[in-house]
Each structure stands twice: as C-alpha cells, then as structure tokens.
Amino acid sequence: MTVYLDHAATTPILPEAAAAMTARLGSVGNPNSLHASGRAARRVVEESRESVARALGCRPGEVVFTSGGTEADNLALKGLFWARRAEDPRRTRIISTTVEHHAVLDPLQWLEEQDGADVVLVPVDRLGRLDLEAFRAAVEADPESVALVSVMWANNEVGTVQPVAEVVAIAHAHGIPVHSDAVQAVGQVPVDFAGSGLDAMTLTGHKIGGPYGVGALLLRREVQLTALLHGGGQERDVRSGTIDAPAIAGFAAACELSVKHQPELASRLSALRDELVREVQEVVPDAAYNGDPVSDVHHRLPGNAHLTFPGCEGDSLLMLLDARGIECSTGSACNAGVPQPSHVLLAMGRDDEVARASLRFTLGHTSQESDVRALVEAIGPVVERARAAGLTGKSRA
C-alpha cells in the first residue's frame, strides 16, 4: 500500500471534481460557438467562473482561466511588466523574494535577460518569511521605477505564510500593483482576493483536488495587462485559446469544495502534521524542523512538515522511503539530472549540506493517521541506512 505524503506537488482529485469533469467529456460544443451546443458549453464555463469567484471573494469577470499555475504566473509577471512599462518607460524594476517558486523566478530571470527588467529579490529570515523592512526599503528607494511586486502567499517548500497584507499596503502606498502566487494557499489557509487587496493572484486545479492542466489568474478589472497569447481573445482579451469546459467544471467544483472545507481540513491536518513532526523527532532526535514553528494558518501551511536529517542526502532518503512505499519530496530543483540544493533553504541561511539533507512531507484531504504511523516506523532505519551510505561514500572518496 502506498503512503502518499506529497500533496504539495499534486493532491488526489476529489470525487466531485472528477464527476463534474467527466460529465462534460462526452458533450460537444466550443464555448465560443453560437449554436445550442456552444451555448451549453459556455454556460458551463460561466457558471464555473461564478463558482470560483464566490469561493475566492472576487467578481466573476476577474477570473481568467489558464492552463495552470505556471501560465498564470507568466501572464501576471510579463503582462503587468509590459503594460506598466508601456505607460511609463521608467518602470523597469520588479520586486519579488528569494524563495519564490520557479514558475515566478524563471520568468523574472527571462525578463531580466531578454527584456531589460531590473529584478530585485528581497531576502527572507531564517523561518522563510519576507524581511518587510528590506522590502519597504527596496520599494521606497525609487518607487516610480517599480513596475510590479510579486510575493507568494505561502512557500511551497517550508510552508511559511508570507505577510501579504503588509506587502500590499507598502506597495499600494506608491500605486504599485501586487501579484501573489497562491497555488499552495488556496484550500489550506483562508484566501479572500478582494479582502487581500491584491491586484492579481495565481491558483491551479491539481493542488486543490481538481484536474491537471487548468488554473486561473484572478485579475482586478481595473488592472491593465498585456497578453502573452494572441488568437481569439477568449479570456478578457488577455488569454487566447479554446476554453476547456470539462476541466474548468472540475476545477470549479474542487475550488468550491476546498474553500468550503478549509477550516476543518486545516484543523485536522495541523494536528496530524504536529504529530508527524513530534514522532519523527522522537525517532531521529537531531532532525530539524524548518519554516515557521507556529502552527496556526497565519504562520504556516497546516499540511506542511519540512525536516532536515543531518548526515543524510535528501535524494537517498527519498528513494529509500519510496522503496518502502512512502512517497514524499526533497523540495529541491533538479537540473539536467543533477540534484541541486534547495534555493529556499539557502535563502533561509542554511548551507549546502543542510539544504541537501532535507525532506518535505505534505498532507492533504486523503491523509490519515496511518500514513504518519507508516512514516514513523520507517524513518529510523531509513536514516540509519542513509547515514551509513554517506559515511561509506566519504571514506571511499
């Protein structure tokens, strides 16, 4: 039996979302066609748009459907940068953080290398939380030159929740729009788009119990955005492409249910996560808990447990656990098959060795106490074996 502890990567689809999606798969009709079948497909899309808007505290017209989080991040970052710079050529700076997902960091690097952007990555503290004073200083150094700000709602590796409200207040004092990648936050912590004051926000289906390949950018109606894709202009003229009605129906069902059940899920997962950390540290006393240790949803994602096991290689631990049917993640990037230390842990002040010795265990709606039991039973022998392998490797070297 497989023990799945990698919900931050993808969480299993909810039965209701699967049913909503499959109910549409046999139906013909392009949502942009004017005949009856097209109108029926359009009705599914618009009802789904209203459902997402209700769940996340925005207007239906502010929901721009995309192929997922990566596209939504690219659309927000490039689209805002181009639109703002077109209004005022001085606006070349983009302010973000050192711990963003690569769906944000890589487009920022592209804009810097290919399009003259000046990217400022603000540091975080040892818990992975944005240094607000450093952020304020970056903004106030030359606010007229800032095109946009992008700060994730919660970190995908260590689970630390970022001070989004404070970021918005600082940026908006200078008329600077703010985007947030909320892919990990929706369904885990309370998320209200209007209440947050954000100008743009990213979410995706497969992190909340929906299908792969569908997500959304929530974009305030007042915000101007330059399109990435050109064609039919199906989504507010900022996102072209035939609309995937079945996937959108499944996404909307997952969004509605994940937000509705968020309080009870967060309470259950927080308790389960705390049990996991406590019992793993009883078996491996020197295992270090990374991220904010405060358990409430204003500080840390309830389903996230990120641990460092000194003297081990994270990839070795992952494979040893996988051989026992326990699936988790190192949370580190992999470039051309060569494991890299986590950029998040490095940004938090950890050294390369620590950054390579960590595992991310993430819980979700299917997680049970039996999953924790299985991990606790396995982790001692696995760590022992990984440490022995590490010592053997060093002696041979």
Same domain for 272 and 133:
no
* Residues 65 and 98 sit within 8 Å (Cβ to Cβ): no
Q: Which two tokens stand for residue 253?
A: 């069902």
Residues ≥6 apart with Cβ < 8 Å to 388: none
What is the average pLDDT score of the chain? 95
At a CB cut-off of 8 Å and minimum separation 6, what does 10 contact? 206, 207, 212
For the cut 70, the answer to whether the pLDDT of residue 394 exceeds it is no
The domain boundary, picked from 230, 260, 290, lies at 260
Range of the domain at 153: 15-260
Separation CA 68–CA 211 (nearest Å):
10
Residue 336 confidence (pLDDT): 38
234, 381: one domain: no
Last residue of a domain, one of 260, 282, 301: 260
Percentage of residues of the chain with pLDDT beyond 70? 96
232 and 95, same domain (yes or no): yes
The count of domains in the chain is 2
**For residue 325, is pLDDT > 60?**
yes
Instruction: Please tell me whether residues 132 and 30 are part of one structural domain.
Output: yes
The residue with tokens 């009856």 is 36
Last residue of a domain, one of 209, 241, 260: 260
Say which CATH number the domain at 50 has.
3.40.640.10
Q: How many Cβ atoms are within 10 Å of 256's Cβ, its own excluded?
A: 20
Same domain, 303 and 320: yes
- Residues in contact with 83: Cβ distance below 8 Å, sequence separation at least 6, in sequence order: 224, 225, 226
Q: Which of 199, 28, 167, 11 is nearest to 100 (CA)?
A: 167
Residue 200 phi/psi, 5° resolution? Answer: -150, 145
Q: Which amino acid would we find at residue 168?
A: V
Cβ-based burial of 334 (10 A; exposed 0-12, middle 13-18, buried ≥19):
exposed
Vertex 346, ends 341 and 121: CA angle to 5°? Answer: 120
For residue 327, the domain's CATH number is 3.90.1150.10
Cα–Cα distance for residue pair 229/239, rounded to 1 Å: 6
* Active-site residue list: 334
Mark 103-125 as b/e (b = at least 16 C-beta within 10 Å): bbbebbeebeeeeebebbbbebe
Q: What is the pLDDT of residues 140-196, one digit of tens each?
A: 999 999 999 999 999 999 999 999 999 999 999 999 999 999 999 999 999 999 999
3-state secondary structure at position 227:
coil
184 & 45 share domain = yes
State whether 25 and 110 are in the same domain: yes
**Domain co-membership, 106 together with 188:** yes
Same domain, 205 and 268: no
| pTM reported for the whole predicted model | 0.95
Q: pLDDT (tens digit, 9 = 90+) per residue, 23-65?
A: 999 999 999 999 999 999 999 999 999 999 999 999 999 999 9
